[in-house]
Structure 1
Amino acid sequence: MRGRLRDTGDRLVSVGSGLGVALGGGRTEPLFSQAPKRWMRALPYLIALGFTIVLIPVTTQVLSNDYGVSGGLAGAIGVAQAAPLLLAVTRPLTAWYIMIVADVLGTIPLFQGDAHHPSPWTPTVVVGYLVLCIALALRESRRALIGIWLVTVVASIAVGLFRDETSQDTGVLLIVLSGGVLLLGALLRERGEAQRRLVEQETISEAERTRRTLLEERARIARELHDVVAHHMSVITVQADSAPYRLPGLTGEVRGEFASIAAGARESLTEMRRLLAVLRSEEAQGDLTPQPGLAQLRQLVEATIRGGVPTDLSYPELSLVRELADVSPAVDLSAYRIVQEALANVVRHAPGARAEISIGLEDDALLVLVVNGPAREPVSPLESSGTGHGLVGMSERVRLVGGTLDVGPLPDGGFRVAARLPLTEPDSPTA
Structure 2
Amino acid sequence: MASILSTAEQTAVRDRKGPALPGALDPAFLTCVHCGLCSSACPTYLELGSEADSPRGRIHLMRAVVEGRLEWTPEAVGHIDLCLECRACETACPSGVNYHHLLEQARVELEGKGLRPARTRRLLAWMRDRLFPYRSRLEWAFMPLRLLRAVERLVPQVARLLPAFLRDLAGFVPRLPPAFRWRRLPEENPAQGTERLRVGLLAGCVQSVVYGPVNEATVRVLQRNGCTVAVPRAQGCCGALHQHTGAREKAKAFARRNLDAFEAAGVDVVVANAAGCGSTLKEYGELLADDPAYAGRAAAFAAKVKDVSELLAELPLEAPEGRIQARVAYHDACHLAHGQGVREQPRRVLASIPGIELVDLPEGEVCCGSAGIYNLTEPAMSRRLQQRKVAHVAGSGARIVATGNPGCMMQLEQGARRAGLELQVRHPVELLDEAYRAGEKRTS
User: What's the TM-score once normalised by structure 2's chain length?
Assistant: 0.21
Higher Rg: 1
User: What's the TM-score once normalised by structure 1's chain length?
Assistant: 0.21
Choose between structure 1 and 2 for higher RCO, CA contacts under 8 A separated by at least 6 residues. 2
Q: Which structure has the highest helix share of the two?
A: 1
